[in-house]
Amino acid sequence: MTHPSADRGHAVRDHTADAVIEAWGPTAASCYEEAAVAFVELFADVEGATGERTQQVTVGPGRPEELLVLLVEELVVALDTSGRVPVAVEVEVRGDRLDGRITTVPASQVEQVGPAPKGVSWSGLEMGPVDGGWWARATIDV
């Protein structure tokens, strides 16, 4: 599949009882970051929110699609265990790992626009290089 013409971006698509996120970017890191933005857009409007807490995150080792699952799981954990919504995610690809930062705010400080996601499915999961950039697709359990 080819990614849209924009250098970097994401989309959310309805999928039966779940949702599908798609992300693209010129680098793997930018694609992971866009996937994180799409994930958050499923359940929260964080526009204008300023993060107040940043945590370091390392996921891996794994193939690119496994790293995508592990990153999304980190976002789910931030929401489930601490009631915090990611407002910014920055990652660097280091071989078969991702290192980065997740900046969050309390869920009470953002508008909830959908049910909180429960996780990511391995079914239909894709992540890899395409057309000189990177593209990803994941089904999110809501």
What distance in Å separates the CA atoms of residue 76 and residue 65, rounded to the nearest whole number?
Answer: 17
At residue 1, the pLDDT reads 46
Flag residues of the chain having pLDDT under 70: 1-6, 13-17
Domain residue ranges of the chain, discontinuous segments joined by +: 9-141
- Say yes or no: domain 9-141 is CATH 1.10.10.10: no
At residue 39, the pLDDT reads 95
pTM summary value: 0.89
- How does pLDDT run across 81-107, given as a tens digit for each residue? 989 999 999 999 999 999 999 999 999
At residue 92, the pLDDT reads 97
